[in-house]
Amino acid sequence: MKRLLFLYVAVVLSTGLSFAQDADSLAFVSADWKTEKLPRGAVAMTARIELFGSHQTVSVVRYRSGRFYTRIVQTRDLTPTSTTAKGLGAVAAVNAGYWNVRKVEPSTYVRIDGHDCSRTESAETFRVNGILTISKRKLDVFECDTTRYGYYAVRYDNILASGPVLIDDGREFDYSDRTEKFFRRHPRSVIGSTARGEVVMIAVDGRFKGDAEGMTVDELVKVCRWLGLVDAINLDGGGSTTLWNSVGGIMNHPYDNKRYDHEGERAVSSCIVALP
């Protein structure tokens, strides 16, 4: 798989995408990626890497959109991502949207199968600057504010508001001027797509000194670029970050139990699943 990753990066470079030939990018490509083959050609990958002057653990699932249905799932009650995914017969899943801990309900706009489930709270607008849409198996990311959801609602039946947007149609976003705690290093969850029609789910572990220190939003943009994403959006992170697959189970090290193991999964409001 390491050789395949090198070849994939070579393809990305040949298309003209910028790729900094620095120690971090080379470390990412040449890392000892542990891989699992999933049904229908999907692949799961995990590596511990020295990146950005820190210890990082990165987990990735990638699959061709034409072989799966990517679906936003809003559960009635808080439910672990792995439980929801298993119940639906999914091949892979990542936790999804932000939610209000006190109200125990989603705190951003969610639209599923043409029905609006929730609205974006004003407290979320400092980080929620975009939406993820899914139509005919195709995943797209758009930068937009809370006043424009109506424009997209008449065009898409399945929408999740989240953020920050990391890459939109190849345009990388720069958050280096943001000083809020949220934009510093934390566990992260991401979903995006490549120009080749692949969907990519990412989990970055964090808050484990010496094992996995988490990434800033700007560092996350670089990882998405190295994976060849042309669209990518940050999902709910922190203790909610969970990436699961049907072969190996939970891939990352969820932080909710504050132990560097696979047991600390948090019950969440929503997730995104890949269904065969």
The per-residue pLDDT for range 193-245, each reduced to its tens digit, is 999 999 999 999 999 999 999 999 999 999 999 999 999 999 999 999 999 99
**In the prediction, which pLDDT does 5 show?**
52
What's CA 103's distance to the chain center, in Å?
A: 24
Arithmetic mean of pLDDT, 27-41: 96
Reading the block at residue 231, the tokens are 């669209």
Arithmetic mean of pLDDT, 135-142: 94
Task: Estimate the share of the chain in helix, then strand, then coil, as percent rounded to the nearest 5.
Answer: 25, 40, 35
Query: How far apart are alpha carbons 235 and 245 in whole angstroms?
Result: 18
Distances (CA, A) of 61 to 191, 248, 252, 273: 10, 12, 11, 11
**In the prediction, which pLDDT does 149 show?**
96
**In the prediction, which pLDDT does 103 show?**
84
**In the prediction, which pLDDT does 13 show?**
36
pTM for the structure as a whole? 0.93
In one-letter notation, the amino acid at residue 218 is: D
3 state SS of 7: helix
Residue % of the chain over a pLDDT of 70: 92
DSSP strands (E only) in 81-181: 92-95, 99-100, 105-106, 110-112, 115-118, 130-135, 138-143, 159-162, 165-168, 171-172
Look at residue 184 and tell me whether its pLDDT is greater than 90. yes
pLDDT-based confidence at residue 104 (cuts at 50, 70, 90) = confident
- Tokens 């050789």 belong to 3
